[in-house]
Structure 1
């Protein structure tokens, strides 16, 4: 193995060249670079990285610092990876200074070769690179071949005199490229502000770029949007049904306070609320789908949906999502109706309601025209968190009924450690929360004339 005779090799503890380890290390760095995890959070001053700090990290990785434990080793190894091209200047400067420390000098050479390696541009499937892009990729390949050539390394047992020519070649290599890695004036300030985790995150977010799936190489945004429609098709109608029924039941319970009907309805709703959605989903699936064969067991639509007309397709979808919608609706109905009841009870005891009754107004007018608007404020408050809660609940329901929606994608990505998709999903949940809060404020203003945006 020719790589076993050269220093400055793989990414593991020993110096031999190991191409498998190199590729694994580059894949890990590519993920961290995608989200800027290999950069400082807000301010990047690594363009003035002290060589003493780099030397200390090299010694820790090599084991030259007695007090360096496992945590220090991991930290130093991660720093040397994250510094990337910022470490080229101090590493080249350290090579001649470490002439009498061959093991540390070989370690410096190893990270110099690693961090000088450039990654070719990644193009989406089917994309044809331009002539300029192909020329740039060819230049990257040429530089990488030079870096990995035997002329740019030395054998493990090489003497200082045999290592000196390689050090000189690296110094000459750096002299040709030093200007590309030197910042000054406004360019230095701009680089320190933009080459950070914070800037990288907002740059990707502004372009709608959530990265690509580690497993399938699909765009995360496309994966989420293609499945979000299934989840919203279940969650939004279920929430509207639960909201309408909760208002009716809440008003009924409040106007029949402490009656047998009110107490019986409360027992039923609390019993429904105590049943987990996965239990209800499993029971409905086994009873109504498997035993009675009334509804399909799983899926969003039939396999033969392509040949159906629009009404037939709509009927088929409604037939498939009936059981999942029941699981969505009953939990929201149980909690929302209790909030509606409590809000109406408070309002019905106010003086202006007694005044309205004393004027001889009909009970329906008192309840729906005078009391309901103020009593429904408690339900409006819950709207801000309703959308993310519904999507979180869809994780279990979609998994049980095998619906390829938002929740199913979330649990699959977590099980497969597909971090890009998981991060994209959490971002969508946060956005839905903000949208819900905005809708809450708008509905407040529509229902209460005392609230104004002026």
Structure 2
């Protein structure tokens, strides 16, 4: 296990370097950048004083350097002008659109994003797991058909449409404005019990909206996986030996049916940060997803690149965690190649 962990950790280093190069290349593919677009606008307006400041920023953040040199400065492999150190030294750069350091800007959004999406994941597992197990153990019953119908409706309903419907009826029936994650008067207030209560009250609708399709998908997958496991020979043998039904169900088939969900942890960690972008825009949620979308649209390369690299790190770490958990959960999976002896 230790050799496997060491090998995987060493493999993560070149993997992240390749991802960083691809991220930077994709960000630089559109012509120009945020500052060059501003320069064009200022020249058209004849504002020479502001133009000089923008030109200064282009030089200060090495945006006037060749492509490879810009990448090396951004990642931290090459010293930049005016002490610009790069990602490896913890310098995430400057957001030209928000006129703030990227590290401070991202920190403001990550807390809210992590809270709302962690709540969504908890909602999905608490609802989907018992329903999926119940449907699989009562195949073709009326309850199984009912949950199957609800699952198809959940998969077919777009999240943003459900968000609009819930926002409308929350306002019409209860006179509530559910946009955002806290009450407007508490946005800039320090954290306290009143702000926490407001956050929990405003989280209800976003969690239901974002978690609906995920819950429906998990119910269908867990039901299908569990039905497949219940038909295998080891279940028949355990029943013949007199193993109690509940113990048999939880110890063997359910455990094996969880493999695909454990394997999804690699995608689960970045989803906690990125969240549902469309729903966040519709519901005016101050999460990281809309900020990343805006940074890509405005060519704010330091902000967009830092977000994408943070998601890449979470994905690589999540894949490592899922591989380790799979080996611990299922004895049929081995960390080394070849057949187990």
Q: Say whether residues 1:437 and 2:319 are aligned partners.
A: yes
- Which protein, 1 or 2, shows the higher relative CO under an 8 Å CA cutoff with sep ≥ 6? 2
| CA offsets 1:419-440 (integer angstroms, 9 cap, x no match) | 3222222122212212321221
Q: 1:31 to 1:447 in 2, by over 3 A?
A: farther
Q: How many residues align?
A: 282
- Which structure 2 residues correspond to residues 104-143 of structure 1 after superposition, within 5 A? none
How far apart, CA to CA, are the structure 1 residues paired with 2:237 and 2:189? 62
- The structural deviation recorded for 1:348 is 0.7
- Of 188, 194, 202 in structure 1, the residue corresponding to residue 75 of structure 2 is 202
* Corresponding residue of 1:299: 180
- Of 22, 39, 54 in structure 1, the residue corresponding to residue 66 of structure 2 is 39
Q: Say whether residues 1:372 and 2:254 are aligned partners.
A: yes
SS state of the match for residue 33, structure 1? coil
Q: Is the CA contact 2:113–2:274 (under 8 Å) kept in the aligned structure 1?
A: no
- Which structure 2 residues correspond to residues 206-221 of structure 1 after superposition, within 5 A? 206-221=88-103
Q: Say whether residues 1:355 and 2:237 are aligned partners.
A: yes
How far apart, CA to CA, are the structure 2 residues paired with 1:234 and 1:309? 16
- Which structure 2 residues correspond to residues 360-439 of structure 1 after superposition, within 5 A? 360-389=242-271, 391-439=273-321
How far apart, CA to CA, are the structure 2 residues paired with 1:432 and 1:309? 27
Q: 1:306 to 1:391 in 2, by over 3 A?
A: closer
How far apart, CA to CA, are the structure 1 residues paired with 2:47 and 2:291? 34
Q: Is the CA contact 1:388–1:433 (under 8 Å) kept in the aligned structure 2?
A: yes
How far apart, CA to CA, are the structure 2 residues paired with 1:29 and 1:413? 17
* Corresponding residue of 1:314: 196
> Which of 1 and 2 has greater Rg?
1
Q: Is the CA contact 2:95–2:302 (under 8 Å) kept in the aligned structure 1?
A: yes
Q: Is the CA contact 2:266–2:321 (under 8 Å) kept in the aligned structure 1?
A: yes
| CA offsets 1:56-110 (integer angstroms, 9 cap, x no match) | xxxxxxxxxxxxxxxxxxxxxxxxxxxxxxxxxxxxxxxxxxxxxxxxxxxxxxx
Q: 1:338 to 1:222 in 2, by over 3 A?
A: same
Unpaired segments of 5 or more residues in structure 1?
Answer: 1-10, 13-17, 42-195
Q: Is the CA contact 1:32–1:38 (under 8 Å) kept in the aligned structure 2?
A: no
TM-score (norm 2): 0.73
How far apart, CA to CA, are the structure 2 residues paired with 1:304 and 1:40? 44
Q: Calculate the aligned-residue CA RMSD, in Å.
A: 3.1
Q: Is the CA contact 1:343–1:377 (under 8 Å) kept in the aligned structure 2?
A: no
- The structural deviation recorded for 1:368 is 0.8
- The structural deviation recorded for 1:349 is 0.8
How far apart, CA to CA, are the structure 1 residues paired with 2:72 and 2:186? 48
Q: Is the CA contact 2:181–2:202 (under 8 Å) kept in the aligned structure 1?
A: yes
How far apart, CA to CA, are the structure 2 residues paired with 1:406 and 1:381? 24
Q: Is the CA contact 2:163–2:206 (under 8 Å) kept in the aligned structure 1?
A: yes
Q: 1:311 to 1:28 in 2, by over 3 A?
A: closer
* Corresponding residue of 1:275: 157
Q: Is the CA contact 1:239–1:329 (under 8 Å) kept in the aligned structure 2?
A: yes
Q: 1:286 to 1:371 in 2, by over 3 A?
A: same
